[in-house]
Chain A
Amino acid sequence: MALTAWKKWKKYALATAISACMIVSAGCSGGASAPEAGDQDRTAAEAAASKRAVVLFHVKSSTLDPADNIITVKAGIAETLTRLDADLGVKPWLAASWTAVDASRWEFLIRDNVTFQDGSPLTAEAVKASLERTMARNESMKLALKIRSMTADGQKLAVETLEPHPALASELLNPHTAIIQVKEEASIASAPVGTGPFRVASFAQDAGIELERHDGYWDGAAKLEQVSFRFNEDGNVRALALQSGEADIATQLPAESVEAIRLNPKLKVESEPGLRVHFLLFNPQGEATGDLRVRQAFDVLLDRRSIVEDIMLGHAAPANGPFNDRLPFGRTAAAAEQDLDKAKQLLEQAGYAPDASGSLVKDGKKLTLKLLTYKARPELPLIAQLLQSDAAKIGIAIDIRTVENIDDTIRQNRDWDLVTYSNLSAPRGDGGFFLNSALMPGGSLNAADIRIDELTDVMKTLNATSEAERRIALTREAVDIAMSRTPHAYAVYPNLIVGLNERIVGWRTDPSEYTILTNELDVS
């Protein structure tokens, strides 16, 4: 009987063991089980022979029309009038120079040695036509550029704005404003003709772009002959494709995949802080968070070091303000360290005292805060949990709620105290966007309705100032004023993580994330 039962179970055991072996052998990863170096470089070697590179980009695109999608600049097909340089300053690109006649009138001098990929010259008239098309098609760009009229004369483009717009040069580095030849409207979505180092050979919606070198590129022909620019939105697949040699460059790698990639001598990882900031947003109308001292207590309660090391696995930098300190107007002060004693002291000053159980109480009411978070950025819920745990140490209870659409939730409700939030604070190298949108009444990112009276005058001056150095000084002043009122507690600047095959040379991580393919990129 027992033998029969064993025989029967043996069959189950055998089937289960086979299945388990299949899954385990497929599931195990790591340096030791990676393919042989020769196999791994097979695709890479083939590609090197033809000066071809394969890029895996983390966001798909269904169109190449720059008015609708920013991929065109990233893929080196088209260029903008201005760009961010390595020091994150606004510098000339297709515009050789520009002058602010006053806060509402500008003169741009367009480079005279530039041709489109169809051989036609880039003139001010062509730039005007391209920008007009963009504004007609893209409401967001119409609002950002605020252009009343443009006059083209040879290579000179005179621009008048609807209102004083000193940040126009910075807005013109937005990839949506990329200059393209607008004669062939029908082909713009699939094969736009720009001035960049690469032209479109073919485009498959949401799958990828095949690019070939534009030999007449004005800044020196690209070193690569062909690029396959593919889209894949799964971080693990991008990491595997890089490890197998299928891809030479993979953008936005998951932090947890970096270690395996670093172990592989054929691969390298570039991890640099970008222009995004993760922060705590306070509800200024909240019963507790309406008190500056409570907000300041949370600012020192935030364990930035642990967020960087334990949550972001080292791929972030502690934040000392809304703007990355690499920006000209970034703050130079060190990021605040966690200080529980100071937090307790501030809360005591705000009238909170511990009860017998250690919970902080004011007017007989325990200090319990509602924190909203969302999963679109996976580290934000973890930051919320870390804060909850640290807050509990000094007697604050935090009730975490995860919501699907954070922007809608905080706009439509006021029954929250804190939010773990994230914004690109200076996407175009100018602080005006974030200060106006997130800290001024009526700003599109100011869902909490933050009002800092002292900020109003500085912002008025900043919004009317064109001179670069003066804008930097005013932005710093505005940040200092805002920081003194602690409407946000800035946590970290997350890194941009890019994986590269070692044969890739000439790579430069662009903190604005606007450019990927350049004429300098090459394979060794």
Chain B
Amino acid sequence: MLALVRARLLQLLLVLFFMSILIFGLMKLAPGDPVFALLKADEVKTTMADEQALRESLGLDKPMLVQYGQWLARVARLDFGDSLMRHRPVLELYVEKLPATVELALGGMAFMLALAVPAGLLAARFPGRLPDHAGRAFSLLGASIPVFWIGLLLIYLFAYRLQWLPFMGRGEDWRQLILPSVTLGFGLSAVHASLLRSGMLASLSQPYIRAARARGIRESTIYGKYALRGAIAPVLTVFGMTLGSLLAGSVVVETLFSWPGIGLMAVEAIFQRDYPLVQGFLFLSGALIVLVNLAVDLLYGWIDPRVRLSGKGGRR
């Protein structure tokens, strides 16, 4: 197990290095100029000469490799620089927004699990019957309906019509977490329920399940212990990837519900071409995603003894 952790951590460093090249390169290749936004040139009388002077003072006129080298050297010391627009350290801004994003991600995941696990298990328990059809219809709906529309419908129904839940905001009332979590979890649960259903069906057709039934083991034990354990691996893979991306923020849900998370800040930074903030955000979120996936890999070792014994890790 220790070898697995060591191997994964080495890979993590390599991934982060290549990620840094990609992030920096993409930001520089993308169209846009932070100086135009910084000078508020669409509202304040400035000239192109003013813009050039500021570009030089920010070091944005230096060769790309020099800029990358300087940035990487700072990143190695966990210094992501200051946001051009917010005039504050990027790391400080990221850490400040992270709790809201984690809260929303966990809320969304909790709702997703609450919906996807029973739906997937029921569908697999009664294949071809009403729970299965309903589950598949739900999966289709969940995967097809855009998140913003689900969010607007939920707001319309629960905040506007029934007035049971608040429209937006965070921190004043615990109920403010419900609608964003449900919006976020709805689409995700469709994918996970569908995955769980197919995993369970595949698992239930395995010889060891037939053997267990032949030995007279209770159906609930077969489902809950043997079949579920066999079916959980692919679900866990997608779960890890989803959790990672959720921790990078969900722009649509954050916008709809005025949820002050990382995603909203990142999109604003992208539009403003706030290079230090976007680069810092991408790097930190990328690292977070890689770490979550590392945790999932380690979890495999715990769930599946073959992984643990081989010491290689990896997903099936």
User: B-contacting residues of A (Cβ < 8 Å)?
Assistant: 11-12, 15-16, 19, 23, 25-27, 29, 33, 35, 39, 42, 60, 62-63, 68, 137, 139-141, 143-144, 167, 174, 189, 204-208, 230-234, 236-237, 240-241, 243-244, 246, 404-405, 407-409, 412, 423-424, 427, 432-433, 436-437, 442-445
Q: Is B96 an interface residue (CB 8 A)?
A: yes
Contact of A137 among B87, B157, B166 (CB under 8 A): B87
Q: Which of A23, A237, A241, A412 has the most CB of B within 10 A?
A: A237
Choose one: B43, B97, B157, B161; the contact of A427 (CB below 8 Å): B43
- Verify B159–A206 contact, CB threshold 8 A: no
| Assembly CA distance A407 to B36 (angstroms) | 9
User: Are B156 and A140 in contact, CB atoms less than 8 angstroms apart?
Assistant: no
CB distance from A251 to the nearest CB of B (A): 14
Please give, as numbers and ranges, the residues of chain B lying within 8 Å of A208 by CB-CB distance: 169, 258
A/B pair count, beta carbons within 8 Å: 157
Offer 27 A-B interface pairs, CB within 8 angstroms, sorted by A: A15-B130, A19-B141, A23-B153, A26-B157, A27-B153, A29-B156, A33-B161, A62-B265, A140-B40, A140-B44, A144-B45, A174-B44, A204-B169, A208-B258, A230-B169, A231-B258, A232-B258, A233-B258, A237-B168, A241-B159, A407-B33, A408-B32, A408-B33, A424-B43, A433-B45, A443-B47, A444-B50
A95, B212: Cα distance in complex, Å? 87
- Distance, CA A35 to CA B160, complexed state (A): 7
From B42, B43, B157, B159, give the contact of A246 (CB < 8 A).
B159
Tell me how far the C-beta of B145 lies from the nearest C-beta in chain A, rounded to whole angstroms. 8
Complex Cα gap A167–B39 (Å):
18
Give bound CA distance, A63 to B44, whole Å: 20
| Chain A, Cβ-Cβ closest to B134 | A15
B54 within 8 A of A: yes
Partner of B85, one of A23, A68, A240, A437: A68
Inter-chain contacts of B96 with A (CB < 8 A)? 205
- Seed contacts A60-B264, A140-B46, A207-B170; 15 additional CB < 8 Å A-B pairs: A15-B133, A60-B260, A63-B86, A206-B264, A230-B169, A232-B168, A240-B155, A240-B167, A241-B160, A405-B31, A436-B45, A437-B46, A443-B45, A443-B47, A443-B48
- Report B276 CB to chain A, min CB distance, Å: 15
Closest to B48 in A: A442
Q: Mark contacts of B146-163 with chain A using CB atoms, 8 A cut-off: 1 yes-contact digit, 0 otherwise.
A: 000000111111011101
Enumerate chain A residues within 8 angstroms of B154, measured Cβ to Cβ. 26
B194 CB to nearest chain A CB (Å): 15
Measured CB to CB, the nearest residue on chain B to A63 is: B86
Most A CB within 10 A of own CB, among B31, B43, B45, B138? B45
Q: How far is the CA of A204 from the CA of B264 in the complex (A)?
A: 14
Q: Which of A139, A407, A423, A442 has the most CB of B within 10 A?
A: A139
Contacts of B257 in A (CB 8 A): 237
Q: Are B49 and A205 in contact (CB under 8 A)?
A: no
Partner of A12, one of B38, B42, B133, B152: B133
Q: Which residues does chain B contribute within 8 Å of A42, judged by CB atoms?
A: 163
Q: Known interface pairs A405-B32, A408-B32. Does A444 touch B47 (Cβ–Cβ under 8 Å)?
A: yes
Most buried by B among A140, A141, A408, A444: A444
CB pair B134 A432 closer than 8 Å: no
Q: How far is the CB of B166 from chain A (nearest CB, A)?
A: 8
B304 at interface (Cβ–Cβ under 8 A)?
no
A140 x B39 contact (CB < 8 A): yes
The answer to whether A444 and B51 touch (CB under 8 A), given A206-B260, A404-B31, is yes
With both chains docked as a complex, state the minimum distance between the C-beta of A511 and any C-beta of chain B, in angstroms. 14
Look across to chain B and name the residue whose beta carbon is closest to the beta carbon of A444.
B41
Range of interface residues on B (Cβ < 8 Å): 35 or more
Residues from chain B with a CB closer than 8 A to the CB of A60 are 258, 260, 264
| Separation of A144 and B51 alpha carbons in the complex (Å) | 13
Docked Cα-Cα span, A439 to B97, in Å, equals 42
B96, B160, B161, B166 interface centre (most CB from chain A within 10 Å): B160
Asked whether B171 is an interface residue with its Cβ less than 8 Å from the other chain, the reply is yes
Is the CB of B256 closer than 8 A to any CB of chain A?
A: yes
Q: Is the CB of B169 within 8 A of A408?
A: no
* Bound CA span A515–B169, Å: 23
| A436: chain B residues within 8 A (beta carbon) | 45
Taking the closest CB of chain B, its distance from the CB of A281, in whole angstroms, is 13
Q: Smallest distance from the beta carbon of B240 to chain A beta carbons, Å? A: 28
Residue on A with the closest CB to B41?
A: A444
Chain A residues near B45 (CB, 8 Å)?
Answer: 143-144, 167, 432-433, 436-437, 443-444
B242 CB to closest chain A CB, in angstroms?
Answer: 24
Closest to A210 in B: B172
In angstroms, how far is the closest chain A Cβ from the Cβ of B87?
6
A105 to B170 alpha-carbon distance, docked (Å): 49
Determine the chain B residues whose CB is within 8 A of the CB of A243 once the complex forms.
160
B167 touches A244 (CB 8 A): yes
Nearest A residue to B166 by beta-carbon distance? A246
Pick the most buried of B48, B96, B170: most chain A CB atoms within 10 A of its CB.
B48
B15 CB-CB contact with A under 8 Å? no
B11 in the interface (beta carbon within 8 A): no
The interface residues of chain B lying within 8 Å CB-to-CB of A424 are: 42-43
> Complex: how many Å from CA A230 to CA B137?
38
Q: Counting CB contacts under 8 A, is B206 at the interface?
A: no
List of A residues within 8 angstroms of B67 by Cβ? none
Chain B residues whose C-beta falls within 8 Å of the C-beta of A35 in the assembled complex? 160-161, 163
How far is the CB of B79 from the nearest CB of chain A, in Å?
Answer: 21
* Residue contact B32 to A234, C-beta cutoff 8 Å: no
> Quick check: is B255 within 8 A (CB to CB) of the other chain?
yes
Contacts of A427 in B (CB 8 A): 43
Chain A residues near B49 (CB-CB < 8 A): 442
**What distance in Å separates the Cβ of A198 from its nearest Cβ neighbour in chain B?**
19
Q: Are B170 and A204 in contact (CB under 8 A)?
A: yes
Q: Which residues from chain A contact B260 at a C-beta distance below 8 Å?
A: 60, 62, 204-207
Chain B neighbourhood of A233, CB < 8 A: 255, 258
Docked Cα-Cα span, A42 to B162, in Å, equals 12
A234 touches B255 (CB 8 A): yes
Cα separation A62 to B272 with both chains bound (whole Å) = 14
Q: Shortest Cβ distance from B268 into chain A, in angstroms?
A: 8
Q: Which of B78-134 contact A (CB under 8 A)?
A: 85-88, 96-97, 130, 133-134
A143 to B52: give the CA distance in the assembly, Å: 13
| CA distance in complex: A26, B255 (Å) | 20
How many angstroms from the CA of A39 to the CA of B258 in the assembled complex?
Answer: 23
Min Cβ gap B159→A in Å is 7
User: What sequence of 0s and 1s flags, for each residue 273-311 of chain B, a beta carbon within 8 Å of any chain A beta carbon?
Assistant: 000000000000000000000000000000000000000
Interchain CA distance A167-B86 in the complex, whole Å:
28
| Contact between B258 and A241, CB atoms less than 8 A apart | no
Q: How far is the CA of A304 from the CA of B163 in the complex (A)?
A: 42
Contacts of B153 in A (CB 8 A): 23, 26-27
